[in-house]
């Protein structure tokens, strides 16, 4: 089977420039059945010895007491079963599987509902994977997902001659009703990636937005459906409807067939997490699990220098997340090892195809008592793209399992993976050995990028897209992040330079300023270390900018690592932020 994925969520280096690659999903799926691919790694018959003592994180300000006492999660598991359909098969009521969700309690201004949909037990004749797609969510008054009628007629994909491509007529229908998702792309990326090598659950968190601004320009973001229509007011506070049952409907899609005849079925499990959050302000705390993968990373983490760098890394992440718009602190920070004996060395220089199996290791590495409420950060030596060749000139810095990751370990998207380049014990040589964490002025550029990458991949896990994807033609659904469409001449993607000098898009939420007005090129110089880190109209000043940032060693000056107000709201809805 040919499955390839141009990842939405990995960063890469092209010659001297680190870039986060992102693109719309491209799918080519064979229709003939084939078994699910596997990427088992061989375990060396004899494993090298480990030296030193394991890293015990010491991160200033990180504390379990940072969690928000007004946040409470209520989980229910709903099960059902139903027919399997193919990619080119209509999404009609006869193939939709309903589940009922108890939403009796009010969730507060910043509460949310997260639905994780997983399949199992598919008919043995059905090869490949079967994915759960959330096609409807009704709160008793409002339908959150309005799909165009062509989805019912033709399905998600059009298949011919063994090749399936996106049915562009199957999209979110905005003609009569508001939608939780602004378009099909933004909806589909929450339903698992049909073209990936691994089964992925569907993960949807609502609300998907909460702001009054929107619409109007050529890059219109519609008025937020929740703010305009879906929210109800409880005790003067606008929030998700409560005191009722919600009905979610799923279809079960086989990723290896254009159509599946009747009689084939699979089981559906939906984990519904209602998050009560009566805070008026965004934020909370997240627990972080670092997983050191393989002998080299483990041994590096057991040196004095390695532990200083890891503490510094976690501190850098904490600093970015503590900014006002995010207001997310670190709770418990934990360290785990995936040693050679457990297959760690087979994942150390990981391929993209291996990452699902690596992230599934969270189910065995992380104690079940800590299974929810954390983001898992797997530190590997390197990541290479074995899936398409399109990115073969890049060295990948990091990959996130999914935009909006599940609060569940053991899945193929249960965390993020970041490359250390086997330098944990050698980064930052100018940093004094007497300090627990290094100051920015002694960061090496590559180390700085490591911290930005961990922060960025976690941002994906918490539900954020790039403000603009790398070609500058697709943008996130958040009203207050800037848009850049100015590709760098000859490169075909947007860069710090092209967005600084050539982009003409204005950011309405920042006084309709362009980046060049917000950051005149005369005040920007990588030579002198002059940047505009707080210029809101420049997309490269955001954590979720798709490429790495300019940084000057010594001064520690750099482009910004901002979260917008809207991004802070999206992350606050994620159930892992507590
Ligand atoms: Zn990214």
> Could you read off the pLDDT of 96-153 as tens digits, one per residue?
999 999 999 999 999 999 999 999 999 999 999 999 999 999 999 999 999 999 999 9
Whether residues 444 and 376 fall in one domain: yes
Highest-confidence segment of 17-21, 46-50, 79-83, 172-176: 79-83
CA 226–ligand 1 middle distance (angstroms): 26
CA 30–ligand 1 middle distance (angstroms): 28
Q: pLDDT (tens digit, 9 = 90+) per residue, 179-209?
A: 999 999 999 999 988 877 778 999 999 999 9
pLDDT for 198: 78
Q: Residues 481, 564: contact at Cβ < 8 Å? A: yes
Task: State how many domains the chain has.
Answer: 3
CA 20–ligand 1 middle distance (angstroms): 5
Residue 119 inside a domain? The answer is yes
Alpha carbon of residue 268 to chain centroid: 23
Q: What is the pTM of this model?
A: 0.92
Q: pLDDT (tens digit, 9 = 90+) per residue, 269-311?
A: 999 999 999 999 999 999 999 999 999 999 999 999 999 999 9
CATH number for the domain harbouring residue 410: 3.40.390
Out of 13-27, 63-77, 155-169, 531-545, pick the least confident.
Answer: 13-27
Whether residues 248 and 296 fall in one domain: no
Residue 419 inside a domain? The answer is yes
CA 35–ligand 1 middle distance (angstroms): 30
Residue 469 inside a domain? The answer is no
Whether residues 84 and 15 fall in one domain: no
pLDDT for 401: 81
Whether residues 391 and 373 fall in one domain: yes
Q: Residues 380, 347: contact at Cβ < 8 Å? A: yes
Whether residues 536 and 395 fall in one domain: no
- Per DSSP bridges, beta strands 130-138 and 244-254 are antiparallel
d(CA 405, CA 8): 13
Residue 47 inside a domain? The answer is no
Whether residues 17 and 138 fall in one domain: no
Residue 576 inside a domain? The answer is no
What percentage of the chain reaches a pLDDT higher than 90?
Answer: 80
What are the helix and strand counts (H, E) for the chain? 12, 20
pLDDT for 43: 54
Whether residues 203 and 289 fall in one domain: no
> What is the domain extent for residue 220?
74-275
Residue 89 inside a domain? The answer is yes
CA 119–ligand 1 middle distance (angstroms): 27
CA 464–ligand 1 middle distance (angstroms): 9
Whether residues 270 and 288 fall in one domain: no
CA 562–ligand 1 middle distance (angstroms): 14
Give the residue-averaged pLDDT of 511-531.
95
Q: Residues 407, 366: contact at Cβ < 8 Å? A: no
Whether residues 139 and 271 fall in one domain: yes
CA 544–ligand 1 middle distance (angstroms): 6
What are the beta bridge partners of residue 203? 116
Residue 163 inside a domain? The answer is yes
CA 455–ligand 1 middle distance (angstroms): 10
Residue-wise DSSP of 347-367:
HHEEEGGGHHHHHHTHHHHS-
Residue 353 inside a domain? The answer is yes
Q: Give the domain-ending residue among 434, 461, 488.
A: 461
Whether residues 133 and 218 fall in one domain: yes
Name every residue whose Cβ is closer than 8 Å to that of residue 282 and which is 6 or more positions away in sequence.
110, 325, 326, 327, 568, 569, 571, 572
d(CA 239, CA 29): 41
CA 548–ligand 1 middle distance (angstroms): 10
* Mean of all residue pLDDT scores within the chain: 89
Q: pLDDT (tens digit, 9 = 90+) per residue, 365-421?
A: 999 877 678 999 999 999 988 876 555 566 789 988 889 999 999 999 999 999 999
Q: Give the domain-ending residue among 217, 249, 275.
A: 275
Whether residues 87 and 230 fall in one domain: yes
Whether residues 6 and 33 fall in one domain: yes
Residue 381 DSSP class:
S
Q: Give the domain-ending residue among 247, 275, 303.
A: 275
CA 398–ligand 1 middle distance (angstroms): 8
CA 281–ligand 1 middle distance (angstroms): 26
CA 10–ligand 1 middle distance (angstroms): 5
CA 541–ligand 1 middle distance (angstroms): 14
């Amino acid at each position: 089977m040919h499955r390839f994925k141009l990842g939405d969520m990995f960063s890469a280096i092209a010659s001297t420039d680190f870039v986060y690659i992102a693109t719309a999903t491209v799918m080519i799926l064979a229709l003939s059945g084939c078994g699910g691919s596997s990427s088992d790694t061989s375990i060396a018959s004899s494993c090298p010895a480990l030296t030193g003592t394991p890293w015990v994180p010491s991160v200033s300000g990180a504390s379990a007491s940072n969690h928000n006492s007004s946040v409470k999660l209520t989980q229910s598991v709903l099960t059902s079963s139903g027919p399997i359909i193919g990619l080119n098969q209509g999404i009609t009521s006869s193939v939709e599987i309903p589940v009922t969700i108890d939403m009796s309690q009010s969730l507060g201004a910043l509460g949310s509902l997260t639905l994780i949909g997983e399949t199992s037990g598919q008919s043995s004749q059905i090869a490949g994977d079967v994915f759960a797609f959330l096609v409807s969510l009704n709160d008793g008054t409002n339908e959150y997902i309005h799909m165009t009628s062509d989805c019912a007629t033709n399905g998600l994909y059009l298949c011919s001659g063994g090749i399936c491509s996106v049915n562009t007529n199957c999209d979110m229908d905005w003609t009569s009703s508001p939608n939780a998702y602004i378009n099909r792309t933004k909806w589909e990326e929450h339903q698992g990636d049909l073209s990936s090598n691994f089964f992925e659950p569907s993960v949807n968190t609502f609300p998907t937005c909460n702001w009054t601004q929107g619409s109007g320009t050529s890059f219109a973001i519609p008025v937020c459906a929740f703010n305009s229509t879906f929210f109800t007011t409880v005790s003067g506070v606008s929030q998700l409807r409560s005191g009722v049952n919600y009905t979610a409907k799923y279809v079960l899609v086989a990723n290896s067939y254009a159509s599946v005849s009747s009689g084939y079925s699979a089981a559906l499990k939906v984990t519904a997490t209602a998050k009560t959050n009566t805070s008026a302000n965004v934020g909370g705390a997240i627990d972080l699990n670092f997983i050191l993968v393989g002998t080299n990373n483990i041994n590096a983490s057991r040196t004095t220098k390695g532990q200083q760098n890891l503490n510094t890394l976690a501190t850098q992440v904490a600093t970015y997340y503590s900014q006002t718009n995010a207001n997310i602190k670190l709770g418990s920070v934990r360290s785990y090892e995936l040693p050679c004996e457990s297959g760690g060395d087979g994942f150390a220089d990981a391929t993209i195809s291996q990452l699902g199996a690596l992230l599934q290791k969270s189910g065995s590495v992380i104690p079940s008592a800590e299974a929810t409420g954390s983001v898992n950060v797997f530190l590997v030596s390197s990541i290479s793209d074995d899936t398409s060749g399109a990115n073969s000139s890049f060295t990948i810095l990091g990959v996130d399992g999914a935009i909006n990751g599940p609060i569940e370990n053991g899945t193929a998207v249960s965390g993020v993976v970041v490359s250390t380049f086997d330098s944990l014990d050698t980064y930052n040589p100018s940093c004094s050995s007497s300090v627990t964490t290094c100051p920015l002025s002694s960061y090496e550029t590559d180390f700085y990028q490591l911290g930005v990458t961990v922060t960025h991949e976690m941002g994906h896990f918490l539900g954020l897209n790039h403000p603009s994807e790398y070609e500058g033609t697709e943008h996130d659904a958040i009203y207050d992040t800037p848009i850049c469409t100015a590709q760098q001449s000859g490169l075909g993607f947007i860069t710090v330079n092209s967005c600084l000098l050539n982009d003409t898009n204005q950011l309405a939420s920042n006084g309709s300023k362009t980046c060049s007005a917000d950051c005149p090129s005369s005040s920007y110089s990588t030579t002198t270390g002059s940047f505009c880190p707080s210029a809101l109209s420049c997309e490269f000043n955001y954590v979720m900018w798709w490429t790495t940032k300019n940084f000057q060693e010594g001064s520690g000056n750099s482009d910004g690592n901002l979260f917008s107000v809207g991004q802070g709201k999206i992350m606050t809805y994620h159930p892992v932020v507590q």
